[in-house]
Structure 1
Amino acid sequence: MKSVRQALSSAPRAAVALCAALGLALGGLFALSPVPAARADTTQICDPNGTSVQTHYVIQNNVRTAGQTQCLAVGGSGRSFQVTQADGSVPTDGPAKSYPSIYNGCYRGLCSPGTTLPMQLSAITSARSTVYFIPVTDAVFDASYDVWLDPTPRKDGVNRTRIAVWFDQLGSIVPIGSEVGTVTLASLTWDVWIGNDGSSDVLTFVSARKVSNWNFDVRAFTNEAVSRGLAQPNWYLTSVQAGFEPWQNGTGLSVGCFQSSVNTGEGTAGSDSLGQGNTDGGSSSGEGVPVYCPLDPTPTTGTTTGDTTAGSVGGGSSGSTTSGSGTLTCTVTYSPQTWPGGFTTSVTLANTGSTALIGWNLGFTLPAGQTVTNAWGATVSPSSGAVTATNLDYDAQIPAGGSVSFGFQGTWT
């Protein structure tokens, strides 16, 4: 691997992770070849019920209001999909006009490639997902992650319960039903609403703060549905979906990245904490599937762990694993993906020590010609050369045994 500067620098906070950081010289992680890598073709969907199968997921237009045109651009520009036309509006005291979305699982008789959903809730050991919502400012909408549950392994028809997790919203809109209280799940506070849309029970979680991107375990919400009597452990998870519900306008709304992996059998399930990284073991739906941004190369992965003590930084950059020392230790796991002229990298920082870490920075050097264009889960600055990824407010804390994840996208020449 190409030698690079590696450092996880300290900051004036209660406790700061100090570990040998991953050598994120992208040219050293994988070969940058002029041979085009596989990727999804750009597709336009304007049919109200149109769908597009992209690698391991299905993207759907899902227009609910007759006579209103909505079009999606699928693939290209580093996004799963983007709403390119969204005509008309509907009253904000009723249902939204559409739900353009991307999903893993089975919905309306169409299953995503390779999925093992439906899967019984009691058999699931982890159901990690990553989503990156890109909103607009001139529409009335919610950014919703929907989870469908049913007593049977249903692949079409109406599910008994829908969980809607609102990451963001704009305008005077409220969920179906009535507000019944608040709850803290996966380190975030949510207003809880329960109602029925005439076909399914609906359990909605509205975030107390705007969340644009998140890596989380869906079980935090399915477990809550069970505890509230809206599902049972022997019910089935049939699909997970990420998209927008627009009431007015909506042009420009897009899902930047999406990933879903549902695990069963042996293996660690992880904890329900914000930004928790992927876990290993068991069988999975989409195990090893790249985050769809949209890309379809086969990702490579690596891990490096350094010898660390509070106040010092060390460790090698070969990508192998070494034992850590000291009380504040962590491992850094990366999953790069590349295509001609561009790349993304997903990074997970795991706290392997016995003390919670509050605040983290990850320093690395990009080789010449590589530039970061956007990031999620962290701020990355500057955009080239010696850069530093710094935690956001919501993922500043890494509990003992926990982890946080972030990623970035860029270009290379």
Structure 2
Amino acid sequence: MKRPLRAIAAAGLLAAGSIVAVILGGNASADTQICDQYGSTTIGGKYVVQNNRWGTTATQCINVTSTGFSITRADGSSPTNGAPVSYPSIFVGCHYTNCSPGTNLPVQVKNIGSAPASISYNYVSGAVFDASYDIWLDPSPKKDGVNQMEIMIWLNRQGSIQPIGSPVATANIAGRNWEVWRGSNGSNNVISYVAPSAIPSMSFDVMAFIADTRNRGAITNDWYLTSIQAGFEPWQGGVGLAVNSFSQDVNTGATPPPTSSSPTPPPTSSSPTPPPSGNASCAVKYTPTNVWNNGFTAEVTITNTGSSTINGWTMNYNLPSGQTVTNAWNATVTQSGSALTAKNVSYNGTLSPGASTNFGYQATLSGAYSAPSSFTLNGATCTKS
């Protein structure tokens, strides 16, 4: 699903000269009403609450309390196959030059010992929304503009909506199981952790999700954590949705980020990267998951259609002219000219007969998009499915 970035929409309107009324200043008292499109205020001397109605011109209002906020008016509506209408939220850190009082963000991941969090939501029926905990990271200590990495923790979703990209794995983090999605919205990469059922409240360490994202190769310990946000992305309705309470600290110190979380599915081979074993019978499904004017993301699904187990695989094909891979996941991808080589990683090298795996990548694009025409796996030509 292609979705514009919340902050980009805000920046675009500001650049166009729109007058945006923002409530700033000291701590908000209970029952502070915000209806301005990007209106915000502070609470508890520590957090910023923002209306952030970026995807619609229809009115949205929030009621800010001493511990959170609730949506009191939501006139906007958006198709479920498109972008949400807003992201009313509470945050710590810096979001487009708006920094929470006394924040120590941005700070490098390697300098964070822990980031204890606690959130309590109120959900309503009849609305189409996700309840998302957002974590923003960048290679530089940015206090404005678009960050390169967004981690979304979906504690609830209602209606026929889905995260950006496609599901790539599952993970057990903070004592819970999550479906992991990966993709790009055209301006930044996104990894989403989706709960299988609604979670009304949760206490956890944000660093556990950051560590899992790092273990997937999406960031390094030298990247900067810039902000942590919690709120809702409504598509339709939403009156009554509320963040009852929010607590987030970022503790710097010598304790390294947790490393126990690892990408799943777990390794099925004793060798980190087993050598390819002979020719393979295979089918390939190539799916462009998102295409924009100067780039795209794609997913490649490999199925073993033969009668023998594949122990280690290498896929080769040629990218059309004007396409250059910039990052990849679930495979080690290299490119020489137009020739692309993708090799399995530790946990997806063994494919029993009928089994499938997938990998994906982001690439720059010059000219019109087109897909590769033929694929080989361990030297054998695959059928396209």
Q: Distance in 1 between matches of 2:207 and 2:187?
A: 23
Confirm whether residue 46 of structure 1 aligns to residue 12 of structure 2. no
SS in structure 2 of the partner of residue 85 of structure 1: strand
Contact 2:55 2:83 (C-alpha < 8 Å) held by counterparts: no
Q: Distance in 2 between matches of 1:269 and 1:161?
A: 17
The match for 1:143 is 131
Confirm whether residue 184 of structure 1 aligns to residue 172 of structure 2. yes
The match for 2:103 is 115
Q: Distance in 2 between matches of 1:69 and 1:210?
A: 27
Contact 1:72 1:84 (C-alpha < 8 Å) held by counterparts: yes
Q: How many residues align?
A: 234
Runs in 1 of length 4+ with deviation above 2 angstroms?
Answer: 38-42, 266-273
The match for 1:68 is 58
Larger RCO (CA within 8 A; separation ≥ 6): 1
Identity %: 47
Residue in structure 2 matching 1:214, options 202, 207, 218: 202
TM-score by length of 2: 0.58
SS in structure 2 of the partner of residue 244 of structure 1: strand
Does the C-alpha gap of structure 1 residues 205 and 194 become closer, same or farther in structure 2, counting only changes over 3 Å? same
Displacement after TM superposition at 1:42 (Å): 2.7
Contact 1:130 1:258 (C-alpha < 8 Å) held by counterparts: yes
Does the C-alpha gap of structure 1 residues 194 and 163 become closer, same or farther in structure 2, counting only changes over 3 Å? same
Q: Distance in 1 between matches of 2:72 and 2:51?
A: 11
Displacement after TM superposition at 1:209 (Å): 2.4
The match for 1:389 is none
The match for 1:166 is 154
Q: Distance in 1 between matches of 2:30 and 2:81?
A: 38
Q: Name the aligned partner's letter for residue 50 of structure 2.
A: Q
Does the C-alpha gap of structure 1 residues 230 and 69 become closer, same or farther in structure 2, counting only changes over 3 Å? same
SS in structure 1 of the partner of residue 63 of structure 2: strand
Does the C-alpha gap of structure 1 residues 268 and 156 become closer, same or farther in structure 2, counting only changes over 3 Å? closer
The gaps in structure 1 that reach 5 residues or longer are 1-37, 274-413
TM-score by length of 1: 0.54
Residue in structure 1 matching 2:49, options 40, 51, 59: 59
Contact 1:101 1:243 (C-alpha < 8 Å) held by counterparts: yes
Contact 2:208 2:257 (C-alpha < 8 Å) held by counterparts: no
Displacement after TM superposition at 1:138 (Å): 1.6
Q: Distance in 2 between matches of 1:196 and 1:157?
A: 17
Q: Distance in 1 between matches of 2:207 and 2:149?
A: 15
Confirm whether residue 101 of structure 1 aligns to residue 89 of structure 2. yes
Map residues 314-393 of structure 1 onto 2, 5 A cutoff: none
The gaps in structure 2 that reach 5 residues or longer are 1-26, 262-385
SS in structure 2 of the partner of residue 117 of structure 1: coil
1:173-205 alpha-carbon deviations (Å, 9 max, x no partner): 110111112111111110010111111101000
Contact 1:185 1:272 (C-alpha < 8 Å) held by counterparts: no
Q: Name the aligned partner's letter for residue 147 of structure 1.
A: I
Does the C-alpha gap of structure 1 residues 80 and 148 become closer, same or farther in structure 2, counting only changes over 3 Å? same
1:22-52 alpha-carbon deviations (Å, 9 max, x no partner): xxxxxxxxxxxxxxxx983431111111111
Q: Name the aligned partner's letter for residue 113 of structure 1.
A: P
SS in structure 2 of the partner of residue 233 of structure 1: coil
The match for 1:83 is 71
SS in structure 1 of the partner of residue 250 of structure 2: strand
Q: Distance in 1 between matches of 2:134 and 2:169?
A: 20
Residue in structure 2 matching 1:228, options 216, 224, 235: 216
Residue in structure 2 matching 1:157, options 136, 145, 158: 145
Contact 2:28 2:41 (C-alpha < 8 Å) held by counterparts: no
Q: Name the aligned partner's letter for residue 70 of structure 1.
A: Q
Which sits farther off after the overlay, 110-119 or 58-67?
A: 58-67
Over aligned residue pairs, what C-alpha RMSD do you find? Answer: 2.0
Map residues 273-288 of structure 1 onto 2, 5 A cutoff: none
Q: Distance in 1 between matches of 2:237 and 2:31?
A: 23
Q: Name the aligned partner's letter for residue 65 of structure 2.
A: G
Does the C-alpha gap of structure 1 residues 270 and 174 become closer, same or farther in structure 2, counting only changes over 3 Å? closer
Greater Rg over alpha carbons, structure: 2
